[in-house]
Chain A
């Protein structure tokens, strides 16, 4: 049954079937070939109970925040302000890309949305100033992945929801790894651009007056950040409710910037429904597949297999990480998480690892999946924002940042307190 699922998955994906539909078909296949009793009679109930969930409403709400911000010009202002602060470093605007992505990660729950926002604002600059397209686009794709690590994060909500762990704690655990990864992205850019100056663009110097003036453009994003993260930790709101507060604040911002119109509102709403439905088809497909896999006993087969190998905890962990890296080449992020959490997390907990810690580790692995070809959504999002050019440019440009992610994974394993310090002390 394992080979059937694995090769079925790859084969159907290669046929260019929609990802969500592939997961449904695999579940149907397992039902007809491997299950002694008809599972799919319960399909309707599975679909109902997995979509009727108030936690999941955070997904469209965070998407909506991104849609409003994009249309209200906040993204452009933030980019310009951060540009004044960081573009004196070797690599110039590339640092502004990373900094803006980090900033937006703190208001957006999704990596794809973060990458799309930054790409729309940044790519016109790259051509104008003659940057090397590879590192420039790569930095956006990689910076965007921080969206799911720095809270709020749709993926962490889904993780907490499936593993019954505290979502506020998961959010806290993501802060230090997220910020250090952003800094490491900038450091590697400085190193690369110092060694090969032609890869970066012109450095830009801004006077202190300009820098201080630019700070006011950062206010809206900071307001939103405080509104969302603050309301969770002050105990006013659950993560879902915080998302609603975020929608409210972003509307206020759009009104202040005089970008609010009926057309803008309708566009943001239908855009939100489009992206939400796209995510939900994958989540539902993964649930149904999960249901079939569990009923057919795949989790147990895998667990037995791992136990029979008699490996140490760290060796098992490394095998699991290797599996995520390989699967990450082919499978879309949320599906990868949803499909593997119920199987992998119990094994991890049994080995004596912390659930919250593993959540962060998994998020970084999934971030890597977002920028590794052939299936890396962020690569496509960034490439389609610039309208011309080959996808391979973005792929090559992302490579240094993949290296940083691997380094972060090693650090997290060696020093678990990087992620666990905040949740255990606050």
Chain B
């Protein structure tokens, strides 16, 4: 079970690095765009592409933020509890997160389906087929749903085993 978490973390670390490299590529694209504009050559696609990059890195990054405990939680009351109480708070938070993740993933799919069925193109000079950026973005939300549910299963198992310290390491809060 613990190994499953390690795998999950490992995958998400990889995801974060890939997302970061994509962001870097986007920076280069924007810089090229500025240079070309100063030379009076019009390219102008960087704005559209940076929108897609933003959508992709935010949907994929959310899972990484989840496994690295980055999402802001207000833990004043939680931190006053004993380990068992804290574990209950952490589990509640994770349950809510998984619920939202699954719910969002469920409603994100139709957006992609619609573009796929209608073969939608972006209303821009690049005329990007929307299914390309949307499929990457949708996959990020699906992955968020999968990772949060996997995390929840492991957390429930740790709770059953009464291993509060590993549970805290996995889904606790940072500020203590």
Contact = CB atoms under 8 A, between A and B. Distances in A.
Contacts of B53: 57
A113 interface: no
A45 B45 CA distance: 23
Contacts of B13: 270
A231 B90 CA distance: 46
Chief secondary structure at chain B's binding surface: helix
B158 interface: no
A279 B78 CA distance: 22
B23 A272 contact: yes
Contact of B27 (A48, A61, A266): A61
Contacts of A237: 34
B84 interface: no
A15 B111 contact: no
Given A48-B134, A48-B137, A273-B20, A57 B26 contact: yes
B176 to A, nearest CB: 9
Contact of A41 (B30, B47, B107): B107
Contacts of A302: none
B131 interface: no
A18 B65 CA distance: 11
Contacts of A282: 72
Interface residues of B, number: 64
A51 B55 contact: yes
A184 interface: no
A19 B75 CA distance: 11
B64 interface: yes
Interface in B1-42: 13, 16-17, 19-21, 23-24, 26-27, 30-31, 33-34, 38
Interface in B111-164: 111, 133-134, 137, 141
Contacts of A60: 23, 54, 57
Contacts of A41: 107
Contacts of B108: 43-44, 47-48
Residue from the set A47, A272, A284 with the largest chain B CB neighbour count within 10 Å: A47
B54 A51 contact: yes
Nearest to A27: B100
Given A15-B89, A275-B70, A64 B23 contact: yes
Contacts of B30: 240-241, 244
Given A266-B20, A384-B174, A18 B97 contact: yes
A91 B151 CA distance: 48
B166 interface: no
A413 B60 CA distance: 43
B76 to A, nearest CB: 5
Contact of A19 (B55, B60, B72): B72
Contacts of B96: 12, 17-18, 21-22, 25
Given A28-B103, A44-B109, A48-B137, A273 B61 contact: yes
Residue from the set A240, A268, A276 with the largest chain B CB neighbour count within 10 Å: A276
Contacts of A64: 23, 27
Contact of B31 (A17, A244, A275): A244
A277 interface: yes
A54 B89 contact: no
Interface string B55-97: 1011111101100101111111110000000000110110011
Contacts of A19: 71-74
A54 B57 CA distance: 12
Residue from the set A14, A22, A57, A236 with the largest chain B CB neighbour count within 10 Å: A57
Contact of A274 (B55, B68, B111, B141): B68
A54 B174 contact: no
Given A52-B137, A276-B61, A281-B58, 19 more contacts: A16-B73, A18-B73, A18-B93, A18-B96, A22-B96, A43-B104, A44-B107, A51-B59, A56-B51, A57-B26, A268-B20, A269-B17, A269-B20, A273-B60, A273-B61, A273-B65, A274-B64, A274-B65, A377-B72
21 contacts: A15-B93, A16-B77, A16-B173, A18-B93, A18-B97, A47-B104, A54-B50, A57-B54, A60-B57, A64-B23, A236-B38, A241-B30, A241-B33, A244-B31, A248-B27, A269-B19, A273-B57, A274-B68, A278-B65, A280-B58, A374-B74
CB-based closest 3 A-B pairs: A269-B20, A277-B61, A280-B58
